[in-house]
Chain A
Amino acid sequence: MVVADRTVTAQTPHDGEVPPSEVRTSLVIRVAGEAGEGIKKPGELLIQAAARAGFEVLTDFAPPSEIKGGVSFFQIRLSAKQLFTRGDSPDVLLCFNQEAFEVNIQELVPNGLLIYDPESVTPRNTERYRLLSFPLEQIASKQLKMPIVKNVVALGGMAALFSLDTEILYGLIRELWERKGDAVVQTNFKALEAGLKYVQEHVSSADLERFHIIPNPLQHNRIVVAGNTATALGALAGGCNFFAGYPITPASDVMEFLAPTLPQIGGTLVQAEDEIGAIGMVIGASFAGKKSMTTTSGPGLSLMVEALGLATMSETACVIVNAQRAGPSTGMPTRHEQGDLYLCAFGGHGEVPRVVLAATSVEDCFYLAVASFNFAEKFQTPVILMTDTVVCVRSESIDQPELDRIGIENRLTWHPPVEGATPYDDSPKGYRRYAHTETGVSPIAIPGTPGGQYVGMGLEHNEKGRHRPDPRTHTQMTEKRFRKMEHAELEAPAPVLHGNQDAEIAIVTWGSTAGVAIEAIDILAEEGIDVCLVAPRMVMPLPRHQLEAAMRKKHVIIPEVNYRGQFADIVQGVFPTPVTRVNVYGGRPMLVCHLVDVIRDVATGKQGPGRVVLKPIIGNLDELVTPDDLIAPVEHN
């Protein structure tokens, strides 16, 4: 079983202490405070140290939209086994201030541990959880005379909770602050020690035992990266040598990673004036022979749509990473939703076939970024790689990719068969940029190639690249563009499969919701309910051969984080069989325990085909405290 006890018990009234016989399989710790309190950096230190100690880690980071102020949190989940979600609810919640307490306390698992700074937090309704007062401010300001190290004191406390090997943490602190001199390193050491000591002295050994997780023996060749970092690394591994982009949440990390990196391999990054400029530059650079990419999020992709049609029409290879965020228009830039599938799959006027891949995990971000370049180059097409906020911002421990096992595709280029070949020659030696071929892929001449001159174009065109609006040309060229997709479909990356593939219940899903399904399937397997998962990593064209078996099952469940069931629409367009759609749309990932309930209902016959709408949180949505509830009413005279 992958998921901890609480995800199952969360729906039933909690019956007190976890029996000592039950071995904890994962621990979720959330640190909540103001965005400006710098909780991300200590959090990163903690996960790197935990991963080095042999833990599987998976994190979540929820920044507020505001730069400073507003509540944000950093969450880390630890386990000895591979993790697929951040965990439905925290076992331990550390709050830096009252607002952080108010908006997070409802999510703390019943009987969980609240750690709070008594100077800034006054807990309420304390019967539902246990308390640890942790005077962070006092320790940092009075004891250490360094208010700034409050976060490191907290870090020490967290490390003590799950008995992390602190030598690793000391090592990382040294690595991080060595450049600033020994005094800074020593100060941080002291802060770390103070935090460790406080928790060791004030938390009972029974409680510490309760949070104890046995890490795996040290594993080699593991790395801990965020999804956006994995995407950037995958782009580098896939051969990217030109990038143009425009800053946007939650995609900017990819661009910021590549900006200092690409010049180290002679590549170039341009910060464009807007997303339309970015995609135009990408198309231009690819036309000129580069492996080109841009990254964006929904609002930026909306702006790029016209040029995406140009890339399809001109058959220009390019990679567009769309880091999905929540809501239409500006929506919720830092929140999660799988709402852009229609846009990615169909967005644009006319018929614009393109390849769309969707990452289900951090590891996918890497390998699908490589695959995106390969599909783009091989089929001379735009490829959209869809990630989502959950996958972008979370860090995960993954196997270090083995570069020599990664295949790289290059575009089929045209070279003059004889000296003096010209583009205006109707003989076989003349160049036809858009020549009809069996796969639809035509050899491309890279500018600078003698005799290969042609005009890349958005107008409908004949094989030589001349505008011809006649019915024969448009019919044949439309077929050529779609023929490429038929061949791409057959080369779709393997889907994520999980559970017993002979099960009568199939979950068909996409993106990071696949991880939720994996954990739900493992919980149900413990109960004796067999469920299988198929999550295609290519969502357009839909790889029919990967889904056929699943779609013939007695029950098909399609969970996704959106209102309309966009993926379900696409799947049912190809396989018109009844399915149970499961949707949630609160800007949060789907909860494992909620999906478990739905599948159980399907298994027991309580739920048939149709649509189930889930709540985005455990508990009553109406009782959830929002920041609005914390603002004192303004009195008008």
Chain B
Amino acid sequence: MTVDTPVREHQLDDYKSDEKPTWCPGCGDFGVLNAVYRALRTKNFEPHEVVAVSGIGCSSRIPYFISTYGFHSVHGRATPVATGVRVARPDLKTLVFSGDGDAFAIGAGHLVHAMRRNLDLTYVVMDNAIYGLTKGQTSPTSGAGFHTATTPAGNPEQALNPMTLAITCGATFVARGFSAEPAKLADLILAGINHKGFSFIDVYSPCPTFNKVNTFKTYKEEVAWLPDSHSSSDVAGALAYATSDEHKYLGIFLEREAPTFEDLVAANHSGTEADRPALLAKMFKRYS
């Protein structure tokens, strides 16, 4: 960490790379990207002290458009890569970007355990309920009966509920945003970054090209912000709002304190790199 560097006021542009986004015009992911720029700007992070990790999918191209360090891994594996980065370098801010297929289908096994470990990661899912990069197949958050090339008779599966998954798997910060409201989304991402522990933020980020069912228009009719009366420490309340038939709720469902994995690991450290030769000498003696 460059503690000696004088603090400089960063501009929004400082977080933009020279690569122009490859998304279709009207893609919800633009709203997420703008919200990320804003959150980074508000935190006034040094771009070289942030790492953005992603998997594969339209959403996962996002590290190329941010001026921080990044790692564009393979499908479903953003979480393990980010885990490695976070555990190795707790001095850096690590953000994870994923899509609904990347996070909840191929990468679901990792996500569950990252939540359970409570790593201090900010995990943003750009959820468009469709596979966009492969041109329109059913995803884990597509609704029952959803028609695509792979479900011509309608999706025979029920949609996965990202909110209940996160709440029950041990994420210590669970929120949902909407890319049509980038200012509020930036606040959610900021709150997630400020939260010490695993912050999970599912974002409705519509795909205008392949998903004609879950659109900006339909989401606008369905969403509602969580009422002020909801306390983010109320797990039962969070689950009730997460499973509401009435609205698709936005906001912070849950926030609670718990020790992070990396802190527990660090507490176990009893020496430093300098102790390596002495440790080896001790080991050799044991086997002599």
A interface residues with partner B (beta carbon < 8 Å): 48, 52, 221-225, 229, 233, 236-237, 239, 241-242, 244, 261, 263-266, 268, 270, 272-274, 276-290, 292, 306-307, 309-310, 314, 400-401, 403, 423-424, 445, 447-459, 466-467
Contact (Cβ within 8 A) A242 B87: yes
Q: Taking CB as reference atom, which chain A residue is nearest B286?
A: A223
Contact (Cβ within 8 A) A265 B273: yes
Contact (Cβ within 8 A) B71 A306: no
Contact (Cβ within 8 A) B269 A266: yes
Q: Which residues of B contact A277 (CB under 8 A)?
A: 77, 79-80, 83, 109-110, 113
Is B134 engaged at the interface, CB distance under 8 Å to the other chain?
A: no
Contact (Cβ within 8 A) A283 B51: no
A396 to chain B, nearest CB (A): 11
Q: Which residues of B contact A278 (CB under 8 A)?
A: 80
Q: Taking CB as reference atom, which chain A residue is nearest B69?
A: A447
Specify which of A221, A229, A314, A448 is in contact with B89 (CB 8 Å cutoff). Answer: A448
Q: List B residues 248-288 near A (Cβ within 8 Å).
A: 265, 268-273, 275-277, 279-281, 283-284, 287-288
Is B222 engaged at the interface, CB distance under 8 Å to the other chain?
A: no
Q: Which residues of A contact B231 (CB under 8 A)?
A: none
Is B153 engaged at the interface, CB distance under 8 Å to the other chain?
A: no
Residue among B77, B84, B91, B281 with the highest chain A CB neighbour number at 10 A: B84
Specify which of B68, B85, B112, B265 is in contact with A284 (CB 8 Å cutoff). Answer: B85
Q: Which residues of B contact A445 (CB under 8 A)?
A: 69
Q: Tell me, in angstroms, the Cα distance from A285 to B80 when the chains sit together.
A: 10
Q: Which residues of B contact A229 (CB under 8 A)?
A: 287
Q: Tell me, in angstroms, the Cα distance from A166 to B265 when the chains sit together.
A: 44
Is B195 engaged at the interface, CB distance under 8 Å to the other chain?
A: no
A58 to chain B, nearest CB (A): 15
Could you write out 10 A-B pairs with CB less than 8 Å apart? A233-B280, A236-B283, A264-B275, A266-B273, A268-B87, A280-B83, A281-B83, A288-B92, A449-B48, A453-B67
Is B88 engaged at the interface, CB distance under 8 Å to the other chain?
A: yes
Q: Taking CB as reference atom, which chain A residue is nearest B81?
A: A284
Interface string of B85-123 (1 = CB under 8 A from A): 111110110000000000000000110110000000000
Contact (Cβ within 8 A) B72 A458: yes
Q: Which residues of B contact A237 (CB under 8 A)?
A: 280
Q: Which residues of A contact B265 (CB under 8 A)?
A: 263, 268, 270
Q: Which residues of A contact B46 (CB under 8 A)?
A: 450
Q: Tell me, in angstroms, the Cα distance from A290 to B85 when the chains sit together.
A: 9
Contact (Cβ within 8 A) A264 B270: yes
Is B197 engaged at the interface, CB distance under 8 Å to the other chain?
A: no
Q: Tell me, in angstroms, the Cα distance from A454 to B51 when the chains sit together.
A: 10
Supposing A223-B288, A310-B74 touch, asked if A287 and B84 sit within 8 A by C-beta, the answer is yes
Is B9 engaged at the interface, CB distance under 8 Å to the other chain?
A: no
Contact (Cβ within 8 A) B70 A454: yes
Q: Tell me, in angstroms, the Cα distance from A284 to B94 when the chains sit together.
A: 11
Those 6 A-B pairs whose CB atoms lie nearest each other, nearest first: A284-B84, A280-B80, A285-B84, A455-B70, A281-B84, A284-B81
Q: Which residues of A contact B19 (CB under 8 A)?
A: 466
List 18 additional contacts besides A221-B288, A268-B265, A287-B84; criterion CB under 8 Å: A52-B288, A222-B288, A263-B269, A263-B271, A277-B109, A280-B83, A283-B73, A287-B85, A288-B89, A290-B88, A307-B74, A309-B74, A403-B277, A423-B67, A447-B49, A447-B92, A448-B48, A467-B64
Contact (Cβ within 8 A) B69 A285: no
Q: Tell me, in angstroms, the Cα distance from A279 to B81 when the chains sit together.
A: 8
Is B126 engaged at the interface, CB distance under 8 Å to the other chain?
A: no
Q: Tell me, in angstroms, the Cα distance from A115 to B187 when the chains sit together.
A: 77
Residue among A285, A450, A454, A466 with the highest chain B CB neighbour number at 10 A: A285
Q: Which residues of A contact B112 (CB under 8 A)?
A: 273
Specify which of A221, A225, A264, A274 is in contact with B271 (CB 8 Å cutoff). Answer: A264
Supposing A265-B272, A273-B113, A307-B74 touch, asked if A284 and B80 sit within 8 A by C-beta, the answer is yes
Contact (Cβ within 8 A) A453 B87: no
Q: Taking CB as reference atom, which chain A residue is nearest B84?
A: A284
Q: Tell me, in angstroms, the Cα distance from A212 to B154 when the chains sit together.
A: 80
Specify which of B64, B68, B71 is in contact with A287 (CB 8 Å cutoff). Answer: B71
Specify which of B80, B89, B270, B272 is in contact with A272 (CB 8 Å cutoff). Answer: B80
Q: List B residues 34-88 near A (Cβ within 8 Å).
A: 46-49, 51, 53, 63-64, 67-74, 77, 79-88
Q: Tell me, in angstroms, the Cα distance from A456 to B71 when the chains sit together.
A: 4
Q: Which residues of A contact B270 (CB under 8 A)?
A: 263-264
Q: Which residues of B contact A424 (CB under 8 A)?
A: 17-18, 67
Q: Tell me, in angstroms, the Cα distance from A273 to B268 when the chains sit together.
A: 21
Supposing A403-B280, A448-B91 touch, asked if A281 and B80 sit within 8 A by C-beta, the answer is yes
Is B229 engaged at the interface, CB distance under 8 Å to the other chain?
A: no
Contact (Cβ within 8 A) A288 B74: no
A325 to chain B, nearest CB (A): 24
Is B236 engaged at the interface, CB distance under 8 Å to the other chain?
A: no
Is B1 engaged at the interface, CB distance under 8 Å to the other chain?
A: yes
Is B2 engaged at the interface, CB distance under 8 Å to the other chain?
A: yes
Contact (Cβ within 8 A) A453 B92: no
Q: Tell me, in angstroms, the Cα distance from A450 to B18 when the chains sit together.
A: 17
Q: Which residues of A contact B70 (CB under 8 A)?
A: 453-456
Specify which of A222, A236, A453, A459 is in contact with B72 (CB 8 Å cutoff). Answer: A459
Residue among A236, A284, A314, A447 with the highest chain B CB neighbour number at 10 A: A284
Q: Tell me, in angstroms, the Cα distance from A242 to B88 when the chains sit together.
A: 7
Q: Which residues of B contact A265 (CB under 8 A)?
A: 271-273, 275-276, 279
Q: Tell me, in angstroms, the Cα distance from A459 to B1 when the chains sit together.
A: 30
Contact (Cβ within 8 A) A400 B288: yes
Q: Tell me, in angstroms, the Cα distance from A552 to B18 when the chains sit together.
A: 56
Contact (Cβ within 8 A) B92 A270: no
Supposing A265-B272, A451-B48, A456-B71 touch, asked if A401 and B284 sit within 8 A by C-beta, the answer is yes
Q: Which residues of A contact B77 (CB under 8 A)?
A: 276-277, 280, 307, 310
Q: Taking CB as reference atom, which chain B residue is nearest A52?
A: B288
Contact (Cβ within 8 A) A450 B84: no
Supposing A448-B92, A451-B48, A466-B64 touch, asked if A288 and B273 sit within 8 A by C-beta, the answer is no
Q: Tell me, in angstroms, the Cα distance from A229 to B283 when the chains sit together.
A: 10
Q: Tell me, in angstroms, the Cα distance from A449 to B273 when the chains sit together.
A: 21
Contact (Cβ within 8 A) B288 A285: no
Q: Which residues of B contact A224 (CB under 8 A)?
A: 287-288
Q: Tell me, in angstroms, the Cα distance from A284 to B71 when the chains sit together.
A: 8
Specify which of B53, B63, B272 is in contact with A266 (CB 8 Å cutoff). Answer: B272
Q: Taking CB as reference atom, which chain A residue is nearest B51?
A: A447
A457 to chain B, nearest CB (A): 4
Q: Which residues of A contact B48 (CB under 8 A)?
A: 447-453
Q: Tell me, in angstroms, the Cα distance from A512 to B57 when the chains sit together.
A: 44
Q: Which residues of B contact A455 (CB under 8 A)?
A: 63-64, 69-72
Contact (Cβ within 8 A) A280 B67: no
Supposing A270-B87, A280-B110, A287-B71 touch, asked if A450 and B2 sit within 8 A by C-beta, the answer is yes
Contact (Cβ within 8 A) A292 B273: no
Q: Taking CB as reference atom, which chain B residue is nearest A270?
A: B87
B169 to chain A, nearest CB (A): 12
Contact (Cβ within 8 A) B68 A263: no
A426 to chain B, nearest CB (A): 10
Contact (Cβ within 8 A) B84 A236: no
Contact (Cβ within 8 A) A287 B81: yes
B44 to chain A, nearest CB (A): 15
Supposing A274-B109, A288-B51 touch, asked if A236 and B81 sit within 8 A by C-beta, the answer is no
Q: Which residues of A contact B74 (CB under 8 A)?
A: 306-307, 309-310, 458
Specify which of B1, B80, B284, B288 is in contact with A276 (CB 8 Å cutoff). Answer: B80
Q: Which residues of B contact A264 (CB under 8 A)?
A: 270-271, 275, 279
B15 to chain A, nearest CB (A): 11
Contact (Cβ within 8 A) A280 B79: yes
Q: Tell me, in angstroms, the Cα distance from A459 to B288 when the chains sit together.
A: 49
B58 to chain A, nearest CB (A): 13
Q: Tell me, in angstroms, the Cα distance from A306 to B288 when the chains sit together.
A: 41
Interface string of B221-236 (1 = CB under 8 A from A): 0000000000000000
